[in-house]
Chain A
Amino acid sequence: GAVVSQHPSWVICKSGTSVKIECRSLDFQATTMFWYRQFPKQSLMLMATSNEGSKATYEQGVEKDKFLINHASLTLSTLTVTSAHPEDSSFYICSAREGRGAVPDTQYFGPGTRLTVL
């Protein structure tokens, strides 16, 4: 089946630093990638949708200048948390969508990245 990887799987950083998280589709081309955030015991909240070669579309309440998304190729999207603060500590999950069909079954999730900001 389709595989999506994320790197790193976990990261600890000091407050004020920036952290980059990579999301790769390993065996398919992802026309669209999604970034989610999950706080403990809560739902996955969609942060943004990114299409290769175009600007990301951010959900309401998500600061685009703080969460920079770059979808440079059909297999790679990156999320950079700029000037991270303790409240940004969360589990970040990406998903990659194969094709442009209306059926969202072809959305495959990465294993997630645990970010802890001290």
Chain B
Amino acid sequence: DQQVKQNSPSLSVQEGRISILNCDYTNSMFDYFLWYKKYPAEGPTFLISISSIKDKNEDGRFTVFLNKSAKHLSLHIVPSQPGDSAVYFCAASSSGNTGKLIFGQGTTLQVKP
């Protein structure tokens, strides 16, 4: 039972354009969501997060949007840069669950120069 889903395994965008990565979840107990960036043979690095009490959080080129009614979140990267090319994972957590994270399958982003 995949509680967090990233239905697009890959995405290719041109440098300077917007990258939009999507994530859906099924568990209504999730109240905190995170995006991680991962390179091959390395651990994930934290990018940005959002609490369920908000619908948007912005940090520089990265913005995360949360639609609770649709159980959907997205990560926008604008403008995209070649260095953004990596695998992006969304993860979800529920408060009181000792910080346990449930990850999606990941989306490989390629930003072409």
Contacts and interface: CB of A to CB of B under 8 A. Distances in A.
B32 interface: yes
Interface size class of B (residues with CB under 8 A): 20 to 34
A34 B44 CA distance: 13
Interface in B1-54: 2, 4, 9, 32, 34, 36, 41-46, 49
Interface stretch (A14-22, A40-48, A79-87): A40-48
Nearest to A40: B40
B101 A112 contact: no
B47 to A, nearest CB: 10
6 interchain residue pairs of minimum CB distance? A109-B43, A104-B99, A44-B103, A43-B103, A43-B105, A104-B93
24 contacts: A32-B98, A32-B99, A34-B100, A36-B103, A41-B106, A42-B106, A43-B4, A43-B104, A46-B100, A46-B102, A95-B43, A102-B95, A103-B49, A104-B32, A104-B49, A104-B100, A104-B101, A105-B34, A105-B49, A107-B99, A107-B101, A110-B43, A111-B43, A112-B42
